[in-house]
Protein backbone atom coordinates (compact mmCIF):
# COMPACT_ATOMS: atom_id res chain seq x y z
CA UNK A 1 0.00 0.00 0.00
CA UNK A 2 1.29 3.45 -0.91
CA UNK A 3 1.41 6.08 1.84
CA UNK A 4 0.61 9.75 1.80
CA UNK A 5 2.24 11.32 4.85
CA UNK A 6 1.13 14.90 5.37
CA UNK A 7 3.36 17.41 7.12
CA UNK A 8 2.14 20.44 9.06
CA UNK A 9 1.40 23.18 6.54
CA UNK A 10 0.97 20.83 3.56
CA UNK A 11 -2.70 21.74 3.36
CA UNK A 12 -3.85 19.17 0.80
CA UNK A 13 -3.05 15.79 -0.68
CA UNK A 14 -4.51 13.83 -3.58
CA UNK A 15 -5.65 10.23 -3.98
CA UNK A 16 -6.26 9.44 -7.61
CA UNK A 17 -5.63 5.90 -8.79
CA UNK A 18 -7.18 2.57 -7.92
CA UNK A 19 -4.34 1.59 -5.56
CA UNK A 20 -5.16 1.93 -1.87
CA UNK A 21 -3.33 4.86 -0.28
CA UNK A 22 -2.74 5.03 3.46
CA UNK A 23 -3.13 8.62 4.71
CA UNK A 24 -1.31 9.80 7.81
CA UNK A 25 -2.11 13.32 9.00
CA UNK A 26 -1.01 15.86 11.59
CA UNK A 27 -2.67 17.99 14.26
CA UNK A 28 -3.24 20.73 11.65
CA UNK A 29 -6.25 21.09 9.32
CA UNK A 30 -5.78 19.07 6.11
CA UNK A 31 -7.75 18.35 2.97
CA UNK A 32 -7.58 15.14 0.95
CA UNK A 33 -8.95 15.24 -2.61
CA UNK A 34 -10.23 11.86 -3.77
CA UNK A 35 -10.86 11.33 -7.50
CA UNK A 36 -13.61 9.03 -8.78
CA UNK A 37 -11.36 5.95 -8.63
CA UNK A 38 -9.35 6.90 -5.53
CA UNK A 39 -9.14 4.52 -2.58
CA UNK A 40 -7.74 5.39 0.83
CA UNK A 41 -7.41 4.34 4.42
CA UNK A 42 -7.06 7.11 6.98
CA UNK A 43 -4.90 6.77 10.07
CA UNK A 44 -6.47 8.08 13.29
CA UNK A 45 -4.02 10.99 13.15
CA UNK A 46 -5.90 12.37 10.14
CA UNK A 47 -8.96 13.30 12.20
CA UNK A 48 -7.28 15.46 14.83
CA UNK A 49 -8.72 18.75 13.72
CA UNK A 50 -10.84 20.33 10.99
CA UNK A 51 -9.85 17.78 8.34
CA UNK A 52 -11.76 17.46 5.07
CA UNK A 53 -12.12 14.55 2.65
CA UNK A 54 -13.28 16.01 -0.68
CA UNK A 55 -14.68 13.27 -2.95
CA UNK A 56 -15.08 14.06 -6.66
CA UNK A 57 -18.60 14.01 -8.08
CA UNK A 58 -22.15 14.65 -6.93
CA UNK A 59 -22.82 13.73 -3.28
CA UNK A 60 -26.21 12.29 -4.29
CA UNK A 61 -24.38 9.56 -6.23
CA UNK A 62 -22.75 8.13 -3.09
CA UNK A 63 -23.86 6.18 -0.06
CA UNK A 64 -21.92 5.83 3.16
CA UNK A 65 -22.22 3.05 5.71
CA UNK A 66 -20.34 2.23 8.87
CA UNK A 67 -18.86 -1.28 8.78
CA UNK A 68 -17.03 -1.26 12.12
CA UNK A 69 -16.28 0.97 15.08
CA UNK A 70 -13.64 2.90 13.09
CA UNK A 71 -14.48 2.05 9.50
CA UNK A 72 -16.84 3.39 6.84
CA UNK A 73 -17.36 2.35 3.23
CA UNK A 74 -18.27 4.94 0.61
CA UNK A 75 -19.99 3.48 -2.45
CA UNK A 76 -21.12 4.86 -5.81
CA UNK A 77 -22.69 3.11 -8.82
CA UNK A 78 -19.33 1.55 -9.69
CA UNK A 79 -18.96 -0.01 -6.22
CA UNK A 80 -16.89 0.86 -3.16
CA UNK A 81 -14.59 3.84 -3.65
pLDDT per residue of the chain (81 residues) written in tens, 0 to 9: 788 888 776 767 888 876 788 888 888 888 888 887 788 888 877 777 778 888 888 888 888 888 877 777 787 766 665
- Residue 41's domain comprises 2-80
Structural domain count, the chain: 1
What is the H or E stretch that residue 14 is in? strand 12-15
Name the DSSP class of 46.
G
Angle in degrees, CA 20, 74, 53, rounded to 5: 75
- At residue 18, the 3 state secondary structure works out as coil
Amino acid sequence: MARLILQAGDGAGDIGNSAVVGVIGTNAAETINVSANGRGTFDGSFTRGNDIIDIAGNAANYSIRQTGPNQIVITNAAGPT
